C-alpha cells in the first residue's frame, strides 16, 4: 500500500512501524484474546501498558523524578483553563506571551479565572516572530509565565526560553514536544495534546514540577485538579487507553530510532530542505515567519497572490500531497513536518515546489 504524503498539522502522520504493530495486535493484544480497547483499565495487561508509557516518556524526554508525568484528557485547550485554575493564586497575575491564536486562547481562559498580564506580544506583526527574551516584561506579582513553544499556525518557534528562578515557566508544547532535546528542569509545567508528535488525539500529557502541586486549591473540581491525576497515577477514572497504548508505541519507536538527538537532527535536516527551497526561489515562495523565528515543525509560506496559491495547492493535491493548506488566519500554505514525516516525503515536496516554480 502506498502511504500518503501527509503534511497535516494535527492529527498528523504517525510512524509506519507504530501502525503496523498496532494492526498486529488489533484483535488480540499480546495473546489476551482481546483488543487493547477491550481491556479493563484495572487489568494487569493495561496496567503494564500505562506504566511503560510513563517510563518511556520519562526516559525519552529525560524527565527527572522531581516531576510528575500526567495523562489527561480535554486536549491542550482544557489546559488553557486548568493552568490558571490550579496555579493562578489570588492577588497574583498569570503572565502570557502572545505569539499566536493558541496563546491568545490560553490568555482568554485565564482571564475568566483571575488576573492576567500580557508580558510580550508579536500580534502587531501578524505573529511573524517570537519576541526577544529581553522584551518580556513580567508584572511584579507574576504567578507564572506562559508561552507557546511552537506556533502551529504561523510557523514560528522559540529557540531559547526565558528563565526566571522566581516565576514558574509554563509551556504549551503541543506542536514541538519530543522534536528536540530539552532540559526539563528549565520548565515548571509542560503540556501537550498528543496528536502531533506523540500519538493520536485523545490523550494530553502534562509534565509538572512536583513543587507546583501544592498550589492547587483543594476545592477545585476533582477532575480539574492536577493532584487528582498525580495521586492516582492518572488512573483516578478511565483513561484514554487506546491513545495511551499508541503513545507507548510511538515512544518505543522514538527510542529505537536513537532517541531525541537523532530525531532532532532529522528534523533540522527536513526543515532545511524546505527553507532552502523557499530562500532560493527568489521571492516566488515567501516564508511567513521571520528567519530567526522559523519553526522546524510547521513551514508556512505564501505565493505571489491567492490565485497562484490556489493553483499550487490544487496541483499539490493532485500529485498526492495532503494537508498543505495554510490556516485561514495566515492563508497560503503550511507543511507540517513532525517527527513521523519521512525525509523522503519532504524531499519530494521540495522537488514539487521547484517544478511548480519552473512552470510558472
Instruction: Could you list the residues known to form a binding site for L-glutamate, using ranges.
Output: 42
**Nearest residue relative to ligand PMP (C-beta):** 75
- Written as one string, the DSSP assignment of 293-324 is GB-SSEEEEE-SSHHHHHHHHHHHHHTTEES-
Question: Given the DSSP bridges, would you call strands 204-209 and 67-72 parallel, antiparallel or unpaired?
Answer: antiparallel
Render the burial of 232-265: b for 16+ CB within 10 Å, e for the rest.
ebbeeeebbbbbbbbbbbbbbbbeeeebbeebbe
Shortest Cβ distance from residue 45 to ligand PMP (Å)? 28
Shortest Cβ distance from residue 197 to ligand PMP (Å)? 11
Q: Which residue in the set 18, 53, 76, 206 belongs to the binding site for ligand PMP (CB under 6 A)?
A: 76
Annotation: binding site for pyridoxal 5'-phosphate:
76-77, 102, 152, 172, 195, 237-238
- In the bound state with ligand PMP, the residue whose beta carbon lies nearer, of 78 and 93, is 78
Binding mask 79-108 for ligand PMP (x = CB under 6 A): -----------------------x------
Shortest Cβ distance from residue 150 to ligand PMP (Å)? 6
Q: Which residue in the set 86, 148, 197, 267 belongs to the binding site for ligand PMP (CB under 6 A)?
A: 148
Q: Which residue in the set 131, 168, 193, 332 belongs to the binding site for ligand PMP (CB under 6 A)?
A: 193
- In the bound state with ligand PMP, the residue whose beta carbon lies nearer, of 95 and 353, is 95
**Lookup result for grid cell 515567501:** 286
Shortest Cβ distance from residue 354 to ligand PMP (Å)? 29
Distances (CA, A) of 156 to 19, 43, 99, 167, 302: 30, 43, 8, 24, 15
Given the residues 92, 180, 196, 296, select the one marked as catalytic: 196
Q: Say whether residue 77 binds ligand PMP (CB under 6 A).
A: yes
Q: How far apart are CA 334 and CA 153, in angstroms?
A: 8
Q: Which residue in the set 36, 61, 75, 289 belongs to the binding site for ligand PMP (CB under 6 A)?
A: 75
Given the residues 92, 158, 172, 253, select the one marked as catalytic: 172
Annotation: binding site:
42, 76-77, 102, 152, 172, 195, 237-238
Q: How far apart are CA 119 and CA 164, in angstroms?
A: 13
> Is 172 designated active site?
yes
Alpha-carbon torsion 34, 254, 161, 278, what sign?
negative
Map residue 57 onto helix, strand or coil.
helix
Q: Which residue in the set 7, 8, 10, 177 belongs to the binding site for ligand PMP (CB under 6 A)?
A: 10
Binding to ligand PMP, residues 166-185 (CB under 6 A): 172, 174-175
Nearest to 178 by CA among 74, 252, 233: 252
Q: How far apart are CA 357 and CA 6, in angstroms?
A: 21
Shortest Cβ distance from residue 70 to ligand PMP (Å)? 15
Task: From 70-78, 127-135, 213-221, 268-276, give the range in contact with ligand PMP by CB under 6 A.
Answer: 70-78
Map residue 115 onto helix, strand or coil.
strand
* Helix spans in the chain (H): 16-24, 44-61, 75-87, 101-111, 226-231, 241-257, 260-279, 306-318, 343-359
Q: Residue length, the chain? A: 360
Map residue 70 onto helix, strand or coil.
strand
Nearest to 139 by CA among 84, 85, 93, 90: 93
Shortest Cβ distance from residue 298 to ligand PMP (Å)? 9
> Is 102 designated active site?
yes
- Residues in contact with ligand PMP, counted by CB under 6 A, come to a total of 11
Q: 172 has which bridge partners?
A: 148, 191
Given the residues 102, 158, 176, 270, select the one marked as catalytic: 102
Which positions are annotated as active-site residues? 102, 172, 196
Which residues form the interface with ligand PMP (CB under 6 A)?
A: 10, 75-77, 102, 148, 152, 172, 174-175, 193
Amino acid at each position: 500500500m502506498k502511504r500518503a504524503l501527509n503534511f497535516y498539522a494535527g492529527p498528523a502522520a504517525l510512524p509506519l512501524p507504530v501502525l503496523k504493530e498496532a494492526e498486529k495486535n488489533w484483535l488480540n493484544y499480546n495473546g489476551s484474546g482481546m483488543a487493547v480497547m477491550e481491556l479493563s483499565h484495572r487489568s494487569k495487561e493495561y496496567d503494564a501498558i500505562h506504566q511503560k508509557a510513563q517510563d518511556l516518556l520519562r526516559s525519552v524526554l529525560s524527565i527527572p523524578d522531581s516531576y510528575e508525568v500526567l495523562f489527561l484528557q480535554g486536549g491542550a485547550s482544557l489546559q488553557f483553563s486548568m493552568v490558571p485554575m490550579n496555579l493562578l493564586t489570588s492577588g497574583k497575575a498569570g503572565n502570557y506571551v502572545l505569539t499566536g491564536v493558541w496563546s491568545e486562547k490560553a490568555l482568554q481562559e485565564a482571564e475568566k479565572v483571575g488576573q492576567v498580564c500580557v508580558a510580550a506580544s508579536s500580534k502587531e506583526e501578524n505573529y511573524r516572530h517570537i519576541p526577544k527574551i529581553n522584551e518580556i516584561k513580567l508584572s511584579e506579582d507574576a504567578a507564572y509565565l506562559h508561552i507557546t513553544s511552537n506556533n502551529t499556525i504561523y510557523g514560528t518557534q522559540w529557540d531559547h526560553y526565558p528563565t526566571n528562578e522566581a516565576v514558574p515557566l509554563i509551556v504549551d508544547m503541543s506542536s514541538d514536544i519530543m522534536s528536540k532535546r530539552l532540559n526539563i528542569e528549565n520548565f515548571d509545567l509542560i503540556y501537550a495534546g498528543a496528536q502531533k508528535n506523540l500519538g493520536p488525539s485523545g490523550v494530553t500529557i502534562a509534565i509538572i514540577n512536583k513543587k507546583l502541586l501544592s498550589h492547587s486549591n483543594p476545592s477545585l473540581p476533582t477532575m480539574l485538579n492536577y493532584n487528582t491525576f498525580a495521586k492516582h497515577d492518572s488512573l483516578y477514572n478511565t483513561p484514554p487507553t487506546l491513545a495511551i497504548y499508541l503513545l507507548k508505541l510511538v515512544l518505543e519507536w522514538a527510542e529505537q530510532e536513537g532517541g531525541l538527538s537523532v530525531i532532532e537532527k532529522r528534523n533540522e535536516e527536513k526543515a532545511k530542505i524546505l527553507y532552502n527551497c523557499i530562500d532560493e526561489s527568489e521571492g516566488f515562495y515567501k516564508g511567513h515567519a521571520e528567519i530567526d523565528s522559523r519553526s522546524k515543525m510547521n513551514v508556512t509560506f505564501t505565493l505571489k497572490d491567492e490565485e497562484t496559491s490556489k493553483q499550487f495547492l490544487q496541483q499539490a493535491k493532485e500529485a498526492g500531497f495532503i494537508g498543505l493548506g495554510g490556516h485561514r488566519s495566515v492563508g497560503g500554505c503550511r507543511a507540517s513536518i513532525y517527527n513521523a514525516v519521512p525525509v523522503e516525503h519532504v524531499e519530494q515536496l521540495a522537488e514539487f515546489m521547484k517544478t511548480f516554480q519552473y512552470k510558472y
